[in-house]
């Protein structure tokens, strides 16, 4: 008999304690329409070659776009971009409305004001449970000197470089 996994709530409680940054994952559909969704299941994979991964729920519209996409981009959000994170996670007919977007190489949409723009060529996909791991070869990008948006226990926060003791000791 195979071993049982923990229930979903415990899984969320555990993994929710892993503080992350927040990105907007963007790609273009075959007809050229831009797609974007908020994603924090993002990790650096390899330095040589330079690979990054993002895990996407198979039930999401963006998943189908990525299945046939040759490229995608990650815009790492800045501390003042919580509204952008919320927008790209909600059901909306036009998530890009009112959002400042730049056109990157190969027409990839990039969110203006981000901490980093990471451009990728699709390298591999791995099925994993109810998600697919999309692995991208990082082909280009730009880093900016801005404080990042942080995500922890389903809430947004700020990362203070250099740390220091928490306010409540």
User: Which tokens in the block code for residue 19?
Assistant: 């503080």
Q: Work out whether 75 is an interface residue with ligand FMN (CB under 6 A).
A: no
Q: What is the DSSP letter of 87?
A: H
Q: Work out whether 118 is an interface residue with ligand FMN (CB under 6 A).
A: no
Q: Work out whether 61 is an interface residue with ligand FMN (CB under 6 A).
A: yes
Q: CA 110 → CA 52, 113, 119, 123, distances in Å?
A: 17, 9, 9, 20
Choice from 29, 55, 135, 137 touching ligand FMN (CB under 6 A): 55
Q: Work out whether 82 is an interface residue with ligand FMN (CB under 6 A).
A: no
Number of residues that bind ligand FMN (CB under 6 A): 15
Q: Work out whether 146 is an interface residue with ligand FMN (CB under 6 A).
A: no
Please classify residue 135 by burial: count the beta carbons closer than 10 Å to its beta carbon, then call 0-12 exposed, 13-18 middle and 19+ buried.
middle
What residues have CB less than 8 Å from 168, skipping those under 6 apart? Answer: none
Q: Work out whether 40 is an interface residue with ligand FMN (CB under 6 A).
A: yes
Choice from 76, 84, 123, 151 touching ligand FMN (CB under 6 A): 151
Helical (H) or strand (E) element with 10: helix 8-15
Q: Which positions lie near ligand FMN, rule CB under 6 A?
A: 22, 37-41, 55-57, 60-62, 85, 89, 151
């Amino acid at each position: 008999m195979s071993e049982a996994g923990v229930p979903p709530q415990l899984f969320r409680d555990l993994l929710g304690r892993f503080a992350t940054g927040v990105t907007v994952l963007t790609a273009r559909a075959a007809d050229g329409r831009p797609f974007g969704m908020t994603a924090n299941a993002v990790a650096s994979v390899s330095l040589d070659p330079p690979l990054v991964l993002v895990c996407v729920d198979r039930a999401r519209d963006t998943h189908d776009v990525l299945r046939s996409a040759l490229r995608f981009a990650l815009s790492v959000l800045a501390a003042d971009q919580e509204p952008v994170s919320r927008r790209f996670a909600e059901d909306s007919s036009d998530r890009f409305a009112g959002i400042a977007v730049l056109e990157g190489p190969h027409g990839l949409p990039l969110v203006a004001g981000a901490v980093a723009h990471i451009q990728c060529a699709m390298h591999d996909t791995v099925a994993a449970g109810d998600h697919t791991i999309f692995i991208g070869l990082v082909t280009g990008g730009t880093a900016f000197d801005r404080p990042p948006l942080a995500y922890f226990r389903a809430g947004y926060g700020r990362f203070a470089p250099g740390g220091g003791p928490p306010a409540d000791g």
